[in-house]
Chains A and B, each alone.
Chain A
Amino acid sequence: MSDEQRSHIERAIARAFRGDRITRRNFFRKVGRGGVYAGTALSLPAILAACGIGPSASPGAAASRAPVGGGDPSGTLNFANWPLYIDQDDEGASPTLMQFTEETEIDVTYTENIEDNQSFFGLVQPDLDEGNPTGYDIIVMTDWMIGNMIALGYLEQIDVARDVPNFVANAADKYKNPSYDPNNAHTVPWQSGITGIGYNPALVDEEITSMAQLLDPAMIEKYSGQIGMFTEMRDSMSFALLHNGVIPQDATMEDVEAAQQTLLAQAEHVRGYFGNEYAQGLGDGSLAITMAWSGDVFQLQFDNPDLRFVVPEEGGILWVDNMAIPLNAEHPNDALAMMDYVYRPEVAAQIAEYVNFIVPVPAAREVILQHADEDEDPENADYLRAVAESELVFPSDEMLGRLHSYKVIDEEEEREWNELFQEVTQG
């Protein structure tokens, strides 16, 4: 896509979104990080309860069991997801969930209480460890956390061929049989996205194309105090690894130590290490160059069409958030019905039109274009076309070729990586 086309599309998006729809962007502005602390407050007693515990459920506790499912739905589904990660109408209800309930007669309690992988894991871990139901039938966790939870035996097995036929029929090949969950034995993707660099051309003189422009102290000195990084350890470490010419999945412990040195050298110029709230900084002009998640920048562009998202030449990170059924969940058949439902192209399109991350269903693109043709409001039609044409929602093969996954690391490695990274973020 040429720059001219691109800025045309972005202006169209900005027009389409003038009006007071609740976007994910608005949400960040209104709520910020509040939810994180609410989550923390909830999980502290849980952690106290976890203290003095024995070893976690033996690895493979769930592996020896048969896959769940094959039965009739019970009519109840408890679904935990990240904030603003599903379509929403003006009243804040989700058309997708309402249509699902209408069709299947399954009542969905949809909770947006996952703010980050670690805190949510801390919240449900004591129950999973005891073999108690967590109260959720579907949770959405990022690929590396799924890997950890499978290793701990915390997820139910599923049989996608039997119970999630739409996934088998409609998911893009690259989402099938992922390294963190071979044969999709426990999970199917919800959405995925790219970790790259977002920047504000009004504050940055040159075009950003490389990791060095984010990480090299000599190059960022003039933007000191306006550089943003992520608290998500795997994202930040993977960036430093890529900068040092190391593919994250091949990283040795020496590479990780070198990556820490790269981050420590950069730290004096870094404004902060952020979660979701980096988007606020990029939007309000306090961050000039920052690590960024693709869908967020797509949203921020409605407000400031000049903002840019790039996958640096060294590469970016492709992450996948997955739906999984926690151990001993009470309504597994209902969960499987939901997993199957969202893999219908019409449903996937409806969610993608709102969420703007990468949809695992390629056929959704045609549906979105069709919606655009049918839409009588030209601004909405332009917006829908922009979603369908965006590299951030439907990335090209060339783009996907430059993206890497997180390294799958065991508990001991994770502890070492975390300690190295804590020195970066907290001194």
Chain B
Amino acid sequence: MGAWLRHHRGLIPYLFLLPGGLWLTIFFLIPILTMATVTLQEGSLGSGFRMTFNFGIFPEAIGRWDDQLLRSLQYGLIVTALTLLIGYPMAYTIAFRGGRFKTILLLLVIMPFFTSFIIRTISWKFILADQGFLLGTLKDWGLLGQGFHLLATPVAVVSGITYNFLPFVVLPLYVALEKIDYRLIEAANDLYASRRQAFLRVTLPLSISGVFAASLLSFIPAVGDYINADLLGSRNETMIGNVIQTLYLTNRDYPQASALSLILMIGILVSIFLYIRLLRGQELTV
């Protein structure tokens, strides 16, 4: 084996890729292809599904669920903007002003991961309950009307998703900011750049790879999220993930659910492509 490898050194990188490649083939490629096949089938669980090359399902599914698709993209964009607005100053402070507390601060950022995603979201439900300790108290003080509620509103759903994906944004931003040579910023200041100019012309462009990674890490899961809409929202906040879940598990309409999943994937890929075009000329890999 050793001798054989010495003669075929060129193969070593491929051998290293093999486990990952197999993993992706089994758990990504095959399911995706299966899903794509199911999309074009018609039938039911009882009578079986038959391949009918029913391409009409795509316009049909988009027409039926356009509100929910658009709402998901819209929530995804708002969440991405909010997480960046909140996460960038956090990452900046930790990277440049964290000093010896850096590790502890980073630990605090990832601390929520020690509790399950669902339990954390349900906790928000208790905190924001109409008569819970937050709103209940404010209502008792007469600061809010008795009918006021936060749960079952878009604000609750968008805030829930923002909260849940914030750590995914802070970490790549931190990595990008941390490796910036601080002397470059000092140099900008020496050359009479204001703090604002130094930030816009030095720090921000140098951290753009982090911004890119962070936005993908929040946008993609946010668009597909269904747990926040389910736990914190109502009928009017239904996202496409909720529709797909109901189609799969309750209606057992596998073709339509698969079609919507594919449409969602394509929608996300197109959004990412546009985003890359927008940032063209920048160094996007960390």
Residues of A within 8 A of B (CB): 32-34, 37-38, 40, 43-44, 47-48, 50-56, 118-119, 122, 125, 151-152, 225, 233, 267, 270-273, 280, 284-286, 411-412, 415, 418-419, 422, 424-427
B194: CB under 8 A from chain A? no
Q: Return the chain B residue nearest A222 by Cβ.
A: B147
B34 on interface, CB distance cutoff 8 Å: yes
A-B contact pairs, 19 of them (CB 8 A): A32-B122, A32-B125, A33-B118, A37-B118, A37-B227, A38-B118, A40-B245, A40-B249, A48-B31, A52-B41, A55-B47, A284-B129, A285-B129, A285-B131, A418-B251, A422-B243, A425-B238, A426-B243, A426-B246
B residues in contact with A272, CB < 8 Å: 152, 233-235
Candidates A53, A122, A271; contact of B249 at CB < 8 Å: A122
Residues on A with beta carbons closer than 8 Å to the beta carbon of B233: 272
Q: How far is the CA of A152 from the CA of B45 in the complex (A)?
A: 10
List of A residues within 8 angstroms of B116 by Cβ: 34
- What distance in Å separates the Cβ of B64 from its nearest Cβ neighbour in chain A? 9
A225 touches B67 (CB 8 A): no
Instruction: Please give the distance in Å from B241's CB to the nearest CB on chain A.
Output: 11
Q: Output the least CB separation between B234 and chain A (Å).
A: 5
- Residue from the list A54, A284, A425 in contact with B48, Cβ < 8 A: A54
Is A411's CB under 8 angstroms from B151's CB? no
Contact B34 A52 (CB under 8 A): yes
Which residue of B has the minimal Cβ distance to A45?
A: B31
Judged by a CB distance under 8 angstroms, whether B159 is at the interface is no
CB <8 Å contact, B34 and A51: yes
Chain B residues near A412: list those with CB within 8 A: 44
Query: Please, which residue of chain B has its CB at the minimum distance from the CB of A410?
Result: B46
Interface check B130, CB cutoff 8 A:
yes
Q: Is the CB of A422 within 8 A of B47?
A: no
Chain B nearest CB: distance from A221 CB in Å? 12
For B250, give its contact among A47, A270, A418 (CB under 8 Å): A418
Option from A40, A273, A411 in Cβ contact (under 8 Å) with B46: A411
Bound together, the chains give a CA A355 to CA B67 distance in angstroms of 42
Given A426-B235, A427-B236, list of 5 further CB < 8 A pairs? A48-B34, A151-B46, A225-B147, A272-B235, A426-B246
Interface residues on B, range: 35 or more
Tell me, in angstroms, the Cα distance from A34 to B254 when the chains sit together. Answer: 24
| Partner of A415 from B34, B38, B251 at Cβ < 8 Å | B251
Is B11 located at the chain interface by the 8 A CB criterion?
no
Residues of B within 8 A of A54 (CB): 48
Name the B residues within 8 Å of A271 (CB-CB): 152, 234
Shortest Cβ distance from B261 into chain A, in angstroms? Answer: 11
User: A47 is contacted by which of B37, B68, B132, B248 (Cβ under 8 Å)?
Assistant: B248
Report Cα–Cα, A424/B234, bound state, in Å: 11
A348, chain B: closest CB distance, angstroms: 32
B251 touches A53 (CB 8 A): no
* A43 CA / B129 CA spacing, docked (Å): 30
Alpha-carbon distance between A33 and B233 when the two chains are bound, in angstroms: 14
Complexed CA–CA distance, A358 and B211 (Å): 58
Task: Kindly report which residue of chain A lies nearest to residue B125, judged by CB atoms.
Answer: A32
Taking a contact as CB atoms closer than 8 A, the residue among B44, B235, B251, B254 that contacts A419 in the complex is B251
CA distance A226 to B136 in the complex (A): 15
The A-contacting residues of B in range 118-145, CB under 8 angstroms, are 118-119, 122, 125-126, 129-132
| Nearest A residue (CB) for B242 | A426
Contacts of A418 in B (CB 8 A): 250-251, 253
Verify B227–A415 contact, CB threshold 8 A.
no
With A51-B34, A56-B48 given, is the CB distance from A33 to B235 under 8 Å? no
Q: Assuming A56-B45, A284-B130, is B122 touching A425 (CB within 8 A)? A: no
Q: How far is A425 from B235 in the complex, measured between Cα atoms in Å?
A: 6
- In the complex, what residues of B have CB within 8 A of residue A425's CB? 235, 238, 246
B:26-64 near A, CB below 8 Å: 31, 34-35, 37-38, 41, 44-49
Query: Could you tell me if A267 and B235 are in contact, using CB atoms closer than 8 angstroms?
Result: yes
With an 8 A cutoff between CB atoms, is B231 at the interface? Answer: yes
Would you give the shortest CB distance from A250 to chain B, in whole angstroms? 24
**Most chain B C-beta atoms within 10 Å of own C-beta, residue among A37, A40, A47, A285:** A37
Q: Would A52 and B38 be within 8 Å (CB), given that A225-B149, A426-B238 are in contact?
A: yes
Q: Which of A43, A52, A122 is close to B49, meaning CB atoms less than 8 Å apart?
A: A52
CA distance A280 to B130 in the complex (A): 12
Complex-state Cα separation, A374 to B117, whole angstroms: 47
- Report the separation of the CA atoms of residues A47 and B242 in the bound assembly, to the nearest whole angstrom: 17
Complex-state Cα separation, A61 to B116, whole angstroms: 42
A-B residue pairs, 3 tightest by C-beta: A55-B48, A285-B131, A286-B130
Q: How far is the CA of A426 from the CA of B241 in the complex (A)?
A: 11
When distances are taken between beta carbons in the complex, the residues of chain A under 8 Å from B68 are 426-427
A235: min CB distance to chain B, Å:
13
A118 and B45 within 8 A (CB): no
Contact A270 B235 (CB under 8 A): yes
Contact bitstring B214-241, A, C-beta under 8 A = 1, else 0? 0000000000000100110111101000
A427 touches B67 (CB 8 A): yes
Q: How far is the CA of A412 from the CA of B246 in the complex (A)?
A: 17
CB B282 to nearest CB in A, in angstroms, measures 37
In the complex, chain A residues whose CB is within 8 Å of the CB of B49: 52-53
A125 touches B45 (CB 8 A): yes
Which residues of chain B are within 8 angstroms of A122 by Cβ–Cβ distance?
Answer: 248-249, 252
Q: Which of B41, B235, B249, B254 contacts A273 (CB 8 A)?
A: B235
Q: Which residue of A lies closest to B240 (CB)?
A: A426
Known: A425-B235, A427-B67, A427-B236. A286 touches B250 (CB 8 A): no
CA distance A83 to B132 in the complex (A): 25
Asked whether, in the complex, the Cβ of B242 is within 8 Å of the Cβ of A34, the reply is no
Most chain-A Cβ atoms within 10 A of its Cβ — which of B34, B119, B250, B251?
Answer: B250
Residue in A48, A118, A415 whose Cβ sees the most chain B Cβ within 10 Å: A48
A422 close to B246 (CB less than 8 A): yes
Return the chain A residue nearest B250 by Cβ: A118
Residues in B whose Cβ lies below 8 Å from that of A270: 234-235
Determine how close the nearest CB of chain B comes to the CB of A127; give it in whole angstroms: 14
Q: Which residue of A lies closest to B253 (CB)?
A: A415
Residues of chain A contacted by B258 (CB below 8 angstroms)? 51
A233 to B249, CA, bound (A): 13
Asked whether, in the complex, the Cβ of B35 is within 8 Å of the Cβ of A51, the reply is yes
Q: Which residue of A lies closest to B243 (CB)?
A: A426
